[in-house]
Chains A and B, each alone.
Chain A
Amino acid sequence: MSTTSPDDAIRGELAGLLPRLRRFARVITRNVADADDLVQVAVEKALARATQWRPGSRLDSWMFGIMKNAWIDEVRARRRRERVHAPEEAGFAVGDASAAAREIALSVEAAMTRLPEEQRMAVALVLVEGLSYRDAAESLGVPIGTLTSRLARGREALQALLGDNGSPS
């Protein structure tokens, strides 16, 4: 096929970004298999609309926004199915068993699963992915003040769940 298609430009960038996309997905889906499915769906969507991405602008923020929307769609669809049909057998599996035995990390992950979706996304983008407040707000499609207050509430909740004095080690 054509070698000048806009998605050629994006593929290389995406390849370098995949580990971070997986990490972000892991935080918001709380589940390894769902996380990789989410990355796959988001990458497919991104490639399908590669022309909407302006080269030179931040690809990570753009991708995080696509992932957020795809995940919200998925959660809604699941909720619908659960309401209408018998519940599926398994619940969410938390974390990656192979990365076991790190007490602090596990407790942070466990605490993260208890945050409301929008706070978890704010925490994921700013604290885990290191985005600026402005970039994170843009990814989520919210004003910066909204991002800031979600982040503050999320941190407050984590603080309450994990204890006040930081790492016990």
Chain B
Amino acid sequence: MKFTDEMLMAYADGELEAAARAEIEEAVARDPVLARAVERHRVMAERVRGAYGDVLDEPLPERLAALVEKPEAAPVADLATRRGERTTRTGGWRLPAWAAAAASLAVGFFVGVFVAREPAAPYAESGGDLVARGALDVALTSQLATAGGSHGVHVGISFRDRDGGYCRTFQLQRGASVAGLACRHGEAWKLEVLAAAAHVDGELRTASAIPLPVLQAVDAAIDGEPLDAAAEAAARDAGWRNTRNVAE
């Protein structure tokens, strides 16, 4: 009788039905090669388990313990603050809904700054939305990411959202550096998120200059992967029209 290594593994893990188990048991008793193979699986299981055993004895980080305490002990605002700190530090992880609220606060703040300081603001309000104007509108409509910065605007990634519409990230260098995400709605680029970007001496294409709220907005909106250069050019040439049939 021949046993596959998978069967021997399942036997070593105690996963076999009684009949199969008895069969292997008998074979193992007679065949030292088989016995060694089973033993090898057991030893490996032991080694792997042993390698991570210490994690269980580590003291729990306070922020994790606080999560499962009574709700009063972990008020949402406090949690959100902590998450924010962590997220900034590690440069990863999506934030929950409050991030969206923070992002719209950022919009309010920067609109204020721009409207106050810049007579030719790159955005304007239109029907309750914020839409791109001037150099930003031109760049979003015509500029490819590979073109680099032009007229103070650098376009980052382009992608399709879940409704099939096109969105693009951008950065502006006008006094303060601001980054954002714009999505095509009809004939306009609606600004979904704006956030402060690090000021980087005229060099716009810097990873650290893409602020977290923008990355998070991309994560939340994107359907699949970003457009590659060819798809980006094709979408531009087609006027960024949503070609997906959204009949429902």
Contact = CB atoms under 8 A, between A and B. Distances in A.
A binds B: yes
Nearest to B90: A33
B43 A167 contact: yes
B93 A22 contact: no
A40 B225 CA distance: 26
B49 to A, nearest CB: 6
A133 B15 contact: yes
A117 B11 CA distance: 25
Contacts, number: 149
Which secondary structure characterizes the binding site on chain A? helix
A105 B40 CA distance: 17
Contacts of A167: 43, 46-47
Given A85-B210, A132-B15, A159-B40, A34 B92 contact: yes
Interface string A43-80: 11001100000000000000000000000011001101
Interface of A: 1, 7, 11-12, 14-15, 18-20, 22-23, 26-27, 33-34, 36-37, 39-41, 43-44, 47-48, 73-74, 77-78, 80-81, 83-88, 96, 99, 104-106, 108-109, 112, 123, 126-128, 130, 132-133, 148-149, 151-152, 155-156, 158-159, 162, 164-167
Interface of B: 5-6, 9-10, 13, 15, 39-41, 43-52, 54-58, 60-61, 63-65, 67-72, 83, 86, 90-94, 96, 156-157, 205-207, 210, 215, 218-219, 222, 225-226
